[in-house]
Structure 1
């Protein structure tokens, strides 16, 4: 027999509506609930269907099953009223002033949908002025989702909380579990570790009953991110930092600060900034040729936004080398450019051997051991923590260099490496595993660019080996390694905009889709996935060189180009590196 199953959308709402009418009129009510002397007539059947507490209470075998009045001394009258309104209407009015009494009643009476709405209210209403209160409520009532949301919000907003005295005071009343979770957070934009250490110490002073848990709280601090002078001062006067366990942790951090050149090799969670997102740094460059600026821009690939770092290069450089080891930025050699301030037309370029290291943990530059030779238009790379500086040239007009030098953190100095078979400058460099590849450039005093590719085992090779040549002679170009392939991009004045990739296993170059427009003196960085980004650069336009503002993305999987965003302004000659830096406070 055929039949149709039909659903009435209005029936359930209608039943509840009638129950509410009966309650308001006091009709057919068969039980009275009492809290704080206030009486609430109700209907047993609806209570039993809405609450596990009442379902158990109104069974035939219980004493309360026949009682006319049931006292609930554990509840407030307001909380009971809130839950009864929810049971009869499915609606609940929540605010910071009613949240706790509502949760107390909902949990006691086991009205799970009302508890879920309280959790949703916390998640959607959290703000600076209530986040600590919500975290304490969530911890007290075991609301795991709200607990996580509240703690995460406090961590992300910590910078703003600490600068506002009224909000900072509320942190001192935060429950221990929440504070421990916050201090273990990986994301805490704009917050100095010293501020977190002081917060933990202030909290322990404000909550002396939690002194026995001081180790569990203080072990969340990343002491290597605290300035050593401040750390030494506090460890001498704060008893909480003198327990055997915390004392050993502090001593280890102070020892880290003394390691100097070794620090990039000593990285751990205790030395890591509280951020999980790496940024692409655009180091130096400027809006026109031979006029570099000392700015550093940070680019966030996910949001495609730029922001200038608070720090700047110690000097204006071009044709420098840039690399990252242990989340320290190294800037090597290059040409120091000094422009006549009066005319702003003439500039003096001096090749340097200086090496600068930038520590984003303390926003500090430090001059390191200089290169063995002054270099510009050279290549540098990092293999297993060792920096290689390869070829290049000295002062303008001087011959190119065939020398190679390497910097080992353990030694803290530059040492000679395996020399190139011939002098070269303007070449490109990429690594694959422990292998170093260089391509193109100009040999010696030759006026012509080269197609040659050379290879060296970084730690085992005693000579550079030839590999298959590129199809195009290139100079001032760049290379990037993506998924085991090495991609060669445009160099100076290349008329056809061709790019190609090299397969190390097959020793073979393959042509790819060309750029639509020529480009040189750009910044380039592989993002860690399958894409490569090209930042700015110069190109020919109506017979003149112009600096560009666009950022191009090359997808190696689909051999496709597209423009993804614009730079804040024209930029050429920048060098790129990818590293972790502190995020600014969330707004």
Structure 2
């Protein structure tokens, strides 16, 4: 004998439809639920199947199991009506106006599917008009997914909410948990720390009972990002009481501002930008024969440009470095007026050092180098800046080395190079400085020599020479290897890799993009070359493309193009926020985009 199991898709829906019809006609209803004098006839069996609360209520040993009327005193009429409709039809009527009542009923009656629908409704309908209300509802009923989603929405759109007085009033009604999440966030776009502090102060004063939470909020304020006058006003104000620990944080920030030259080595969470992203900054050099004053930023991930700042003085043949996310611009050649009568301009070698702070978009001049230098090299070891060799006054070639102590804002002499040299390149590998190539005094040809310097030993040590003599080239450290790239007057495009462990050089695949006077920077194990010049028909021709070198696979790929020919620049990676300068910053997409 054969048996078959058949399934009817429509039967389940038909049963629900019939139950709803019976309820609307009052037939076979064996219980009436009463809320605030409103009576709702229902069927115990269906209620028990849909709600853990009713299943427990209608068990055989309870008095409600035999009662014809059950009073529910903690549920609103609207909430119960919506949940009963859902139990009988699977449809839940939702709006921001009735959501709290519906959720209250769903949670009390333990109708889990309805709670999930309410949570998803909050996530899908969160906008500028209701995001704070949505976060409050999600927190009140502990809807985890909705809490995460609404708080993320508020954080991402806080800069808009703070521009609207009406929206700010909604922010003042935000619950404590969400406010804490907001203040602790590392990723708040387009909002100054001062604006965030003002919101905290208003939020605390909006409901004085919140003052008990002031300490927890202030502990997450980044006081190092606040201007001096704001810190002083906060310390002396009386509207919001400050604990001793918070006052100590403010005093620490005041001390931070009082020692501007030490700031790079005083970095911690309280002076770290929120929503900071890595940008490649392009500093100095020339475009179309004119020295460039603007410092540009390039977002290598999104291929966008931004204007960062202006140099304090135009410069070329300079060096740059970064300590504690502060940019230093050292030496080089700058234009100076050498004749008041003819207004004649000449390029003069300088020893001036400027430092840029992306937190406040500010430049300061720090201690000048002991010697004026151009076409030199610099490195950072243990937060000390080493300036080496180069060309000084009246074209004199230098062998001197000097060290900048950030904590003291002073330059001191270090062990001289083994020879006078300019146009050399340098890099750091495991706290050892490596220099290569360049030209010696009186020599026309470039050098292959390589030296290393150990700070602890204070001596220069000769290493295996490069296979190619180079001048005006660049070096980069990637993982455990050191690479040398193209220089000036090189009739080839070969690059080399140096293994410090075995003191050995390896010639790598030539690159197809010949160039010199380019910018170079390392971003996540990829070496980027930006702009520069190349030789074509015995002439220097500017290049605009940005190319990337994959050190692991020894291959090159074009990424995109600069907006204009740019050469003689120096590049570094700087972390910046989009809240540094007031709104409306123009971003420019790159042409010829390719992914490296």
Same fold by TM (over 0.5)?
yes
Question: Cα deviation per residue 1:350-403 (whole Å; 9 max; x = unaligned)?
Answer: 2111111111221111010001111111111111111111111125x6122111
* The 10-residue stretch of structure 1 (150-159 or 574-583) with the greater mean CA deviation from structure 2: 150-159
Instruction: Give secondary structure in 2 for the equivalent of 1:97.
Output: coil
Whether 2:460 is the aligned partner of 1:464: answer yes
Task: Quote the offset at 1:456 in angstroms.
Answer: 0.4
Call closer, same or farther: CA 1:498–1:97 in 2, change over 3 Å: same
Question: Cα deviation per residue 1:46-98 (whole Å; 9 max; x = unaligned)?
Answer: 32222221221222222222333333332222222332333334343433223
Instruction: Give secondary structure in 2 for the equivalent of 1:422.
Output: coil
Call closer, same or farther: CA 1:432–1:8 in 2, change over 3 Å: farther
Which residue of structure 2 aligns with residue 523 of structure 1? 519
Task: Quote the offset at 1:144 in angstroms.
Answer: 2.7
Call closer, same or farther: CA 1:25–1:477 in 2, change over 3 Å: farther
8 A contact 2:286–2:316 mirrored in 1: no
Matches within 5 A, 1:236-385: 236-240=236-240, 242-288=242-288, 290-309=289-308, 311-337=309-335, 348-385=346-383
Question: Cα deviation per residue 1:487-514 (whole Å; 9 max; x = unaligned)?
Answer: 1111123332111211100111112222
In the aligned structure 1, how far is the partner of 2:506 from the partner of 2:4?
Answer: 65
Call closer, same or farther: CA 1:276–1:234 in 2, change over 3 Å: closer
Which residue of structure 1 aligns with residue 590 of structure 2? none
In the aligned structure 2, how far is the partner of 1:526 from the partner of 1:11?
Answer: 66
In the aligned structure 1, how far is the partner of 2:456 from the partner of 2:482?
Answer: 21
Unaligned runs of 5+ in 1: 341-345
In the aligned structure 1, how far is the partner of 2:176 from the partner of 2:476?
Answer: 48
Which residue of structure 2 aligns with residue 107 of structure 1? 107
In the aligned structure 2, how far is the partner of 1:316 from the partner of 1:566?
Answer: 23
Call closer, same or farther: CA 1:13–1:401 in 2, change over 3 Å: farther
In the aligned structure 2, how far is the partner of 1:71 from the partner of 1:462?
Answer: 88
Whether 2:534 is the aligned partner of 1:539: answer yes
Call closer, same or farther: CA 1:370–1:158 in 2, change over 3 Å: same
* The 10-residue stretch of structure 1 (154-163 or 164-173) with the greater mean CA deviation from structure 2: 154-163
8 A contact 2:162–2:168 mirrored in 1: yes
- 451, 466, 471: which one aligns with 1:475: 471
In the aligned structure 2, how far is the partner of 1:487 from the partner of 1:2?
Answer: 78
8 A contact 1:535–1:552 mirrored in 2: yes
Question: Cα deviation per residue 1:256-288 (whole Å; 9 max; x = unaligned)?
Answer: 111222211111111111135332222234433
Instruction: Give secondary structure in 2 for the equivalent of 1:410.
Output: coil
8 A contact 2:276–2:576 mirrored in 1: no
Question: Cα deviation per residue 1:433-482 (whole Å; 9 max; x = unaligned)?
Answer: 1100011112223221211111001x223321111111111222111111
Which residue of structure 1 aligns with residue 501 of structure 2? 505
In the aligned structure 2, how far is the partner of 1:16 from the partner of 1:544?
Answer: 85
Which residue of structure 2 aligns with residue 205 of structure 1? 205
Task: Quote the offset at 1:540 in angstroms.
Answer: 3.7
Matches within 5 A, 1:120-135: 120-135=120-135
- 420, 425, 428: which one aligns with 1:431: 428
Task: Quote the offset at 1:412 in angstroms.
Answer: 1.4
Task: Quote the offset at 1:406 in angstroms.
Answer: 0.7
Which residue of structure 2 aligns with residue 144 of structure 1? 144
Task: Quote the offset at 1:10 in angstroms.
Answer: 5.6
Which residue of structure 2 aligns with residue 343 of structure 1? none
Whether 2:487 is the aligned partner of 1:491: answer yes
Task: Quote the offset at 1:3 in angstroms.
Answer: 9.5
Call closer, same or farther: CA 1:569–1:80 in 2, change over 3 Å: farther
Task: Quote the offset at 1:544 in angstroms.
Answer: 4.3
Matches within 5 A, 1:46-65: 46-65=46-65
* The 10-residue stretch of structure 1 (194-203 or 86-95) with the greater mean CA deviation from structure 2: 86-95
Matches within 5 A, 1:567-586: 567-584=562-579
Which residue of structure 1 aligns with residue 45 of structure 2? 45
Question: Cα deviation per residue 1:103-161 (whole Å; 9 max; x = unaligned)?
Answer: 21221121222222222232333222222111211221122332233223222322222
In the aligned structure 1, how far is the partner of 2:27 from the partner of 2:494?
Answer: 86
In the aligned structure 2, how far is the partner of 1:22 from the partner of 1:328?
Answer: 75
Which residue of structure 1 aligns with residue 591 of structure 2? none
* The 10-residue stretch of structure 1 (125-134 or 330-339) with the greater mean CA deviation from structure 2: 330-339
In the aligned structure 2, how far is the partner of 1:112 from the partner of 1:165?
Answer: 38
Tell me how large the CA RMSD over aligned residues is: 2.6
- 441, 444, 449: which one aligns with 1:447: 444
Whether 2:79 is the aligned partner of 1:79: answer yes
Task: Quote the offset at 1:543 in angstroms.
Answer: 5.4
In the aligned structure 2, how far is the partner of 1:228 from the partner of 1:234?
Answer: 10
In the aligned structure 2, how far is the partner of 1:73 from the partner of 1:483?
Answer: 68
Instruction: Give secondary structure in 2 for the equivalent of 1:307.
Output: strand
In the aligned structure 2, how far is the partner of 1:428 from the partner of 1:137?
Answer: 60
Call closer, same or farther: CA 1:460–1:162 in 2, change over 3 Å: same
Task: Quote the offset at 1:251 in angstroms.
Answer: 1.3
In the aligned structure 2, how far is the partner of 1:241 from the partner of 1:494?
Answer: 68
In the aligned structure 1, how far is the partner of 2:529 from the partner of 2:359?
Answer: 27
Call closer, same or farther: CA 1:372–1:76 in 2, change over 3 Å: same
Instruction: Give secondary structure in 1 for the equivalent of 2:162.
Output: helix
Instruction: Give secondary structure in 1 for the equivalent of 2:347.
Output: strand
8 A contact 1:235–1:241 mirrored in 2: no
Unaligned runs of 5+ in 2: 339-343, 586-596
Whether 2:407 is the aligned partner of 1:410: answer yes
Task: Quote the offset at 1:555 in angstroms.
Answer: 1.4
8 A contact 1:478–1:491 mirrored in 2: yes
Which residue of structure 1 aligns with residue 341 of structure 2? none
In the aligned structure 1, how far is the partner of 2:448 from the partner of 2:434?
Answer: 13
In the aligned structure 1, how far is the partner of 2:475 from the partner of 2:285?
Answer: 19
8 A contact 2:215–2:242 mirrored in 1: no
* The 10-residue stretch of structure 1 (234-243 or 398-407) with the greater mean CA deviation from structure 2: 234-243
